[in-house]
Chain A
Amino acid sequence: MTFWAGANDVSMIQMADVGVGICGQEGRQAVMASDFAMGQFCFLKRLLLVHGHWNYQRAAYLVPYNFYRNAVFVLMLFWYILCTAFSTTSILTDWSSVFYSVVYTSIPTIVIGILDKDLSHRTLLQYPKLYGAGHRHEAYNLQLFWITMIDTLWQSLVLFYVPLFTYKESAIDIWSMASLWTIAVVILVNMHLAMDIKRWVFITHAAVWGSIIITYACMVVLDSIPIFPNYWTIYHLIKSPTY
């Protein structure tokens, strides 16, 4: 990381992994070339120790989480293909698939990325050694990544097979199973996130539980449009306690 103020240091800032510039007496050329810009030199301590640490923790958590979120979803579709004579029938309707990524599960991810803090800024300023967590690859390393992937595999298997065995040899139809699996995967993914959130603020609550409620609302809306094949499935399903 490099940090300077003058115009002659622009190339140095550009070469560095992270360039921080000061906007001040010597103009703004350094600022234009840098990744971060500040008003005073003394802000650097806070930038590194507090925001740098938070940034690292959040990014290190969210990268595997995003892999997990998408992989659980796709693996669920994959396990279903094993039951359809390998004919790639998608258990979800097109709208449901699109909504999953965009509406049902994206907002909590964004909210956590902005708001979650594992330690307060006072603690981080007081114990600079905590910043070394980044140097020591504590929050994101190859081992953690593979553990996340194995966890994903296991969760997607449970997610798929529990409803399958519950409704085996029954009169259930494709679109009702699809509704069930959609709700299940959304709740699973959001609960996983909820268990890992270190600092709950009301916005976080709204994002996580709100996403689940929005999922239900969207499914009700989608299932009320007669053109779609999954017409009325959610109403039919909810009537049965097995659901």
Chain B
Amino acid sequence: MSSNTASSSIDGAGSGDSAAPRRISKRPKYSRFTQQELPACKPILTPRWVILAFLLVGIVFIPIGVVSLFASQDVVEIVSRYDSDCIPPNYQNDPVGYIQNATIDKTCNKTLPVTKHMKQPIYVYYQLDNFYQNHRRYVKSRNDQQLIDGNSSSDISSCRPEAYTNGTNAIVPCGLIAWSLFNDTYSFFHNNTQLEVNKKGISWKSDRDHKFGKEVYPQNFQNGSLIGGKSLDASIPLSEQEDLIVWMRTAALPTFRKLYGKIEVDLQPGEVINVSLENYYNTYSFNGKKKLVLSTTSWLGGKNDFLGIAYLTVGGLCLFLAFSFTIIYLIKPRRLGDPTYLSWNRNPGGH
């Protein structure tokens, strides 16, 4: 290649002390990058590598899957759906009427049997089904500036329709997310002694410090004609209203759980927990479901068999593929560099 250049006598790569006069050369300066001669590695996918790779993946994934599955089985979870049970018999056909009637007592009692030993802390969640906290207009309906800064309490852009009461007074915190705050409450009793539920520290620390202000207090909240959920104590600043903070971390999926509190005693198998709950929140208008969940955690989080099963499946599939490739390689080997596989040899007449 280099013998074909038109002009130039001396190589342009910087030899400075030649005695002969240098002709002007238009040849670009040589470097391994510009001449594309960088050292390179060209891996080729031979059967041996493929089988090895699949074997490796299988051997790594299967133990991970087994460990994950065991961790998930260790988690003890009690789930109890209560929205359908807690409607009194005379309102079975009109649950919406029942929930919207403020004079009816909404207290409901349920029993939760404990089947396995549960170590503290036991997390109490409320789970909502068919509740689309991820709807576009809902997610947008908040104003973060107002939540953090006491001076911006009149900043209600993007909060409609829950922005003003009576058209003039700004609502703090504004928006649909805050307006629809969940307001069922739960009390737990065991052998007639109340189990204390710790409601401190249930929200993200970064939210308490940086997204919800210490000087911001609720104003005009739930003052309108339509009450969407819980009302807030106007003397407690937003950074300490942990239920609000937890609720405003909008959930990703239509079925979600939110942390209500933590029980810090162990529960033994065979015990029966009596729950006295206040069934205020209206999920009947949209066929939503409400469930109360008590759950322990493992290093992997809550109860979820999916990860373990997924790892096991992929690992098993890889081992199966490695095995079948080995069989094919032994029965019908294909030589590396066999010219009969070149495309013009395979279709001799074809274009």
Contact = CB atoms under 8 A, between A and B. Distances in A.
A46 interface: yes
B204 to A, nearest CB: 6
Contacts of B343: 133, 136, 138
Interface in B230-286: 249-259
A24 to B, nearest CB: 9
Contacts of A87: 132, 134-137
Interface in B76-109: none
A39 B306 contact: no
A83 B255 CA distance: 10
B4 A84 contact: no
Interface in B306-322: 306-307, 310
B16 interface: no
Contact of A200 (B41, B255, B299, B351): B41
A147 interface: no
A166 B305 CA distance: 8
Nearest to B125: A171
Contacts of B148: 226
Interface residues of A, number: 51
Given A115-B36, A174-B251, A85 B135 contact: yes
B330 interface: no
A231 interface: yes
B301 interface: yes
Contacts of A129: 344
B204 A240 contact: no
B34 to A, nearest CB: 11
For B139, B211, B253, which residue has the most chain A Cβ atoms within 10 angstroms? B253
Given A173-B251, A236-B204, A242-B307, A203 B38 contact: yes
Nearest to B291: A169
A236 B211 CA distance: 15
A121 B211 CA distance: 60
B132 A84 contact: yes
B333 interface: no
Given A40-B4, A174-B134, A240-B301, A200 B253 contact: no
Contacts of A39: 5-6
Nearest to A200: B41
A110 to B, nearest CB: 15
B39 A227 contact: no
A242 B300 contact: yes
A203 B39 CA distance: 10
A68 to B, nearest CB: 20
Given A87-B135, A166-B306, A172-B252, A202 B38 contact: yes
A173 B250 contact: yes
Contact of B251 (A162, A172, A200): A172
A33 B111 CA distance: 87
A199 B42 contact: yes
24 contacts: A83-B134, A84-B135, A84-B136, A85-B135, A89-B135, A133-B343, A138-B343, A164-B253, A166-B307, A166-B310, A169-B257, A169-B304, A170-B256, A171-B251, A172-B256, A173-B249, A173-B250, A199-B42, A200-B40, A200-B41, A200-B43, A201-B39, A241-B299, A241-B300
- Give 7 closest A-B pairs by Cβ, nearest first: A232-B206, A177-B252, A87-B136, A89-B136, A173-B249, A165-B306, A200-B41
